[in-house]
C-alpha cells in the first residue's frame, strides 16, 4: 500500500518533469536553463534508488527521456571523466594491492596491448585490486582492473594478457559507456555537466559512479561478452602474444567449482566459461596456431608473481625490467590496425 | 630448494614452457596424441573420450599429455581440467603466486587490511569513491614508450592479424 503510493508519487514527479526535459533535447550541449539543477536533484532523488516498489524507474525514465541522449556521441574527455568516477567507486569497494612492481607489470602489459588496440591513445590505467574473488572490470575511458583472485589463477603473461585484452576490447567497443548512457538517459548529460564543475568527489561524481557500478553488477549482454572475447584475442595476437591465453584462463575457470563464492559475481555477469570456450573454439581459425610460438622472454611473469619474495614487494626502483638480452634491432612498431571491426555477418 | 631453482633455470634456458607440475585433466573427445605440437605431426597414440590425462606442458594451442605410458600433444580444446578450487599449480620454489599477492595486499599506506572479503554486489553498490586509490592508480600508469620498451624486452613483436568473425549465428545468438 505504502509502496504503491510511493510509485504513484514518483511517477507524478516524473510526469511533471518530463515536459521540461523534453523541451531541451540539446541540454547535453550546454544550454541548460536555470531550473535544471533543481530538477536534477529531484530526478536523482526519484531515480537514484533504481527500484521503487519493484519498478525500475531509472531504466523507465531513461527510455522515456533519452531518445536524443542515446544517440549523442559523448566526447572522449567526458567519457574519461565518467570512467574515472566509476573507477574511484570500484576502488572504494576494493583498493589496489600494494606491490608496486606487480602493479607496474600489469600496466606495462596492458598499455602494450592497448597500443595495439583500436583506441591506442586513451590514458590507459590498469590495476590489481585486492579481492580474492575472480573477476576483471573495465570502466569507460580506459580503466581496467583485475582481481588478485584472478591473477592467482593465471599461469603466464600470455594468460594475463588474454584477460586484460578482453577488458580493453570492452573499452574499445564502448560497451560500458553505451550501457551507462542507456541506463542514465537524460540524467547523464546533467551529471556530466555538473561533473565538470563539481569534480569526481562531488555529488555528481558519486552519482555517475553509482550508475556505473550498477552496470558492473548487472553485467553486459552475452553478445557483448563474446565480442570482447573475439576482439581481445585479436588484440593479444596483434601485440605479439600467443592468442590462446584467454582460452587457457577460461579453461581454468571452467574447472573451478561453479558454486564457489569467489565465482558468484563473475558467473552472474558473464556467459559460462564453458560457453565462451565453445564460442572461441569454433571461431579461432587453424591459422592462429602459427601465432603461438614459445617465448622464453616471458618467464619474467614468474619472477614477478610466482617467485616474488617479501623484499620484492617493496616499491621497485625501476619502472621497466632491467636486463633481458636485447633482441635483434627492431623496426618501429607498425601502427596498429584500425579498430578490430565488429564481426562481419 | 637449490635443485628446483636449477630446474626452473634450465627450463628457462631451454626455452621450455615453465609449467613444471602436471595438471590433471580429462579428454573431451576421442583424440590422437601427436609427436610434436602440430596438426601434421605423426600420431603416436589414440585416446578415447573421457580418458584421464596429465598436462605436462603447454604451448599456445597445444598441451603435452601423458596417459599411462603414452605421451604426446593434443589441442588445448581437446581437454577439460579436473575441478580445482585454487586454480593451476604454480612453478618455482618457496612462495606461491597466491602468497606473493597476499603479501602485497592491503590498503595503500599505513592501513592494514584485515580479512579481505570477496568483492561482491553489496560492496560494489555501497562503495564510497576512493580518490586516494585513484591517484595511486594514476601513479602506476605506463607511458606508451615504457610499454614499447617492456614489449621489446619480452620479444613481443606487433603483427597484422585479421578480425575474427562471430561463430555460427544460429548457435551463438543474433548479432548486436
Domain ranges across chain B: 19-81
Here the cell at position A34 is: 536555470
- A338: pLDDT strictly greater than 50: no
Query: Residue B23, exposed/middle/buried by CB under 10 A (0-12, 13-18, 19+)?
Result: buried
pLDDT at site A211: 87
Cα end-to-end span (Å), chain B = 54
Q: Is A125 helix (H, G, I), strand (E, B) or coil?
A: strand
For β-strands B31-34 and B52-59, DSSP reports them as unpaired
Handedness of CA B122, A252, A287, B50 (dihedral sign): negative
Q: Which residues have CB under 8 Å from B133's CB, separation 6+?
A: A88, A91, A92, A95, A96, B107, B108
Mean pLDDT on A336-344 = 43
Subunit contact A243:B60, Cβ cutoff 8 A: yes
Domain ranges of chain A: 1-25+35-65, 78-175+220-309
pLDDT at site A186: 72
The more confidently predicted of residues B140 and A6 is: B140
Q: What pTM, to 2 d.p., does this model score? A: 0.74
Here the cell at position B92 is: 618455482
- B41: pLDDT strictly greater than 60: yes
Handedness of CA B29, B32, B37, B39 (dihedral sign): negative
Query: Residue A278, exposed/middle/buried by CB under 10 A (0-12, 13-18, 19+)?
Result: middle
Point out which residues pair with B80 in neighbouring strands: B26
- A50: pLDDT strictly greater than 50: no
Shortest CA distance to B49 belongs to which of B72, B67, B23?
B67
User: For B136, which of A96, A135, A321 is closest by C-beta distance?
Assistant: A96
Here the cell at position A94 is: 576494493
What chain A residue is nearest to B149 in terms of C-alpha separation? A320
Shortest CA distance to A125 belongs to which of A86, A182, A181, A179?
A86
Subunit contact A251:B76, Cβ cutoff 8 A: yes
**Residue from B107, B146, B158, B165 whose CB has the most chain A CBs within 10 Å, to mutate:** B158
- Pairwise CA distance, residues A127 & A129, whole Å: 6
* Percent above pLDDT 90 for chain A: 55
**Among the ranges given (A234-248, B84-98, B105-119), the one the predictor scored with the smallest mean pLDDT:** B105-119
User: For B128, which of A92, A223, A291 is closest by C-beta distance?
Assistant: A92
**Among the ranges given (A178-182, A261-265, A312-316, B4-8), the one the predictor scored with the smallest mean pLDDT:** A312-316
- B137: pLDDT strictly greater than 70: yes
What is the least distance, in Å, from the CA of B22 to any CA of chain A? 13
What chain A residue is nearest to B138 in terms of C-alpha separation? A125
Q: Which residues of B touch A255 (CB under 8 A)?
A: 80-84
Distances from the Cα of A90 to the Cα of A127, B96, B149, angstroms = 11, 27, 30
Window 9-38 of B: residues touching A by CB (8 A cutoff) are 12-13, 15-19, 38
The DSSP code for A155 is -
Cα end-to-end span (Å), chain A = 51
Q: Is A41 helix (H, G, I), strand (E, B) or coil?
A: helix
Shortest CA distance to B137 belongs to which of A108, A138, A91?
A91
Helices (H), A48-118: 57-65, 67-71, 76-93, 100-115
ipTM reported for the complex, 2 dp: 0.79
- Pairwise CA distance, residues A162 & A250, whole Å: 10
Q: Which residues of A touch B117 (CB under 8 A)?
A: 131
Other Cβ atoms less than 10 A from the Cβ of A142: the count is 28
pLDDT at site A330: 40
Q: Which residues of A touch B145 (CB under 8 A)?
A: none
Q: Which residues of B touch A116 (CB under 8 A)?
A: 158
- Pairwise CA distance, residues A152 & A12, whole Å: 51
Window 140-179 of A: residues touching B by CB (8 A cutoff) are 143, 147-149, 151-157
User: For B118, which of A262, A282, A283 is closest by C-beta distance?
Assistant: A262
pLDDT at site B97: 65
- Pairwise CA distance, residues A85 & A301, whole Å: 31
- A199: pLDDT strictly greater than 50: yes
Q: What is the dihedral of CA A16, A17, A20, A23, to 10 degrees?
A: -100
Subunit contact B127:A243, Cβ cutoff 8 A: no
DSSP B32-87: EEESSSSTTSPEEEEE-TT-EEEEEEEETTEEEEEETTEEEEEEGGGEEEPP-SS-
The more confidently predicted of residues B95 and B72 is: B72
The DSSP code for A210 is H
What is the least distance, in Å, from the CA of B162 to any CA of chain A? 7
The more confidently predicted of residues B166 and A251 is: A251
- A127: pLDDT strictly greater than 60: yes
Cβ of B4 under 8 Å from any chain A Cβ?
A: no
- Pairwise CA distance, residues B80 & B51, whole Å: 11
Here the cell at position A321 is: 625490467
Here the cell at position A74 is: 559523448
Q: Is A262 helix (H, G, I), strand (E, B) or coil?
A: helix
**Residue from A320, A331, A338, A344 whose CB has the most chain B CBs within 10 Å, to mutate:** A320
Cβ of B108 under 8 Å from any chain A Cβ?
A: yes
What is the residue-averaged pLDDT of chain B? Answer: 79
Shortest CA distance to A186 belongs to which of A43, A3, A287, A282?
A43
**Among the ranges given (A172-181, B2-11, B74-83), the one the predictor scored with the smallest mean pLDDT:** B2-11
Q: Are A170 and A224 in contact (CB under 8 A)?
A: yes
Other Cβ atoms less than 10 A from the Cβ of A114: the count is 31
pLDDT at site B63: 97
Q: Is A128 helix (H, G, I), strand (E, B) or coil?
A: strand
Subunit contact A240:B156, Cβ cutoff 8 A: yes
Q: Does domain B19-81 have CATH number 2.30.30.40?
A: yes
Q: Are A247 and A162 in contact (CB under 8 A)?
A: yes
HSE at residue A1, side-chain half, CA atoms within 13 A, is 0
Subunit contact A125:B138, Cβ cutoff 8 A: yes
- Pairwise CA distance, residues A172 & A168, whole Å: 6
Scanning the structure block, which residue is given the C-alpha cell 531550473? A35
Q: Is A300 helix (H, G, I), strand (E, B) or coil?
A: helix
Subunit contact A330:B157, Cβ cutoff 8 A: yes
Shortest CA distance to A164 belongs to which of A153, A151, A176?
A151
Secondary structure of chain A: what % helix, strand, coil (to 5)?
A: 60, 5, 35
Q: Are A96 and A129 in contact (CB under 8 A)?
A: yes
- A223: pLDDT strictly greater than 80: yes
Question: Which range has the top average pLDDT, A52-66, A79-93, B94-108?
Answer: A79-93
Amino acid at each position: 500500500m505504502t509502496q504503491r503510493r510511493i510509485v504513484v508519487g514518483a511517477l507524478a514527479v516524473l510526469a511533471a518533469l518530463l515536459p521540461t526535459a523534453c523541451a531541451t533535447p540539446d541540454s547535453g550541449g550546454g544550454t541548460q536553463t536555470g531550473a535544471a539543477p533543481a530538477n536534477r536533484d529531484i530526478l536523482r532523488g526519484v531515480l537514484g534508488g533504481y527500484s521503487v516498489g519493484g519498478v525500475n524507474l531509472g531504466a523507465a525514465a531513461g527510455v522515456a527521456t533519452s531518445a536524443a541522449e542515446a544517440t549523442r556521441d559523448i566526447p572522449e574527455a567526458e567519457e574519461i571523466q565518467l570512467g574515472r568516477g566509476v573507477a574511484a567507486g570500484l576502488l572504494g569497494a576494493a583498493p589496489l594491492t600494494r606491490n608496486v612492481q606487480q602493479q607496474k607489470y600489469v600496466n606495462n602489459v596492458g598499455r602494450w596491448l592497448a597500443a595495439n588496440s583500436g583506441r591506442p591513445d586513451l590514458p590507459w590505467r590498469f590495476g590489481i585490486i585486492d579481492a580474492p574473488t575472480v573477476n576483471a572490470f573495465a570502466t569507460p575511458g580506459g580503466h581496467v582492473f583485475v582481481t588478485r583472485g584472478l591473477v592467482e589463477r593465471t599461469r603466464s603473461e600470455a594468460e594475463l594478457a588474454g584477460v586484460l585484452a578482453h577488458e580493453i576490447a570492452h573499452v574499445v567497443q564502448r560497451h560500458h559507456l553505451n550501457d551507462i548512457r542507456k541506463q542514465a538517459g537524460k540524467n547523464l548529460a546533467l551529471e556530466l555537466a555538473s561533473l565538470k564543475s563539481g569534480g569526481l568527489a562531488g555529488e555528481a561524481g558519486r552519482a555517475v559512479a553509482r550508475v556505473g557500478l550498477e552496470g558492473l553488477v548487472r553485467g553486459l549482454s552475452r553478445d557483448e561478452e563474446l565480442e570482447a572475447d573475439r576482439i581481445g584475442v585479436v588484440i593479444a595476437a596483434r601485440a605479439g602474444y600467443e592468442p590462446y591465453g584467454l582460452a587457457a584462463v577460461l579453461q581454468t575457470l571452467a574447472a573451478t567449482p561453479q558454486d564457489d563464492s569467489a565465482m558468484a559475481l563473475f558467473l552472474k555477469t558473464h556467459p559460462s566459461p564453458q560457453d565462451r570456450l565453445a564460442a572461441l573454439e569454433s571461431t579461432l581459425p587453424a591459422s592462429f596456431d602459427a601465432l603461438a610460438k614459445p617465448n622464453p622472454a616471458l618467464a619474467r611473469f614468474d619472477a614477478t608473481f610466482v617467485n616474488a619474495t617479501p623484499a620484492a614487494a617493496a616499491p621497485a626502483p625501476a619502472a621497466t625490467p632491467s636486463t633481458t638480452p636485447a633482441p635483434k634491432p627492431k623496426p618501429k612498431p607498425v601502427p596498429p590496425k584500425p579498430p578490430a571491426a565488429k564481426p562481419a555477418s | 630448494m637449490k635443485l628446483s631453482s636449477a630446474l626452473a633455470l634450465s627450463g628457462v634456458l631451454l626455452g621450455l614452457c615453465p609449467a613444471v607440475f602436471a595438471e590433471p585433466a580429462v579428454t573431451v573427445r576421442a583424440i590422437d596424441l601427436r609427436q610434436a605440437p602440430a596438426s601434421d605431426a605423426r600420431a603416436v597414440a589414440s585416446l578415447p573420450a573421457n580418458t584421464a590425462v596429465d598436462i605436462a606442458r603447454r604451448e599456445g594451442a597445444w598441451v603435452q599429455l601423458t596417459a599411462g605410458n603414452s605421451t604426446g600433444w593434443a589441442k588445448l580444446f581437446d581437454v577439460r581440467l579436473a575441478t580445482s578450487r585454487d586454480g593451476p599449480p604454480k612453478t618455482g620454489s618457496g612462495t606461491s603466486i597466491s602468497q606473493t599477492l597476499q603479501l602485497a595486499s592491503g590498503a595503500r599506506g599505513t592501513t592494514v587490511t584485515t580479512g579481505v572479503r570477496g568483492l561482491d554486489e553489496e560492496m560494489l553498490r555501497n562503495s564510497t569513491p576512493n580518490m586516494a586509490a585513484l591517484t595511486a592508480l594514476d601513479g602506476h600508469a605506463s607511458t606508451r614508450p615504457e610499454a614499447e620498451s617492456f614489449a621489446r624486452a619480452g620479444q613481443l613483436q606487433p603483427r597484422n592479424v585479421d578480425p575474427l568473425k562471430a561463430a555460427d549465428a544460429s548457435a551463438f545468438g543474433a548479432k548486436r
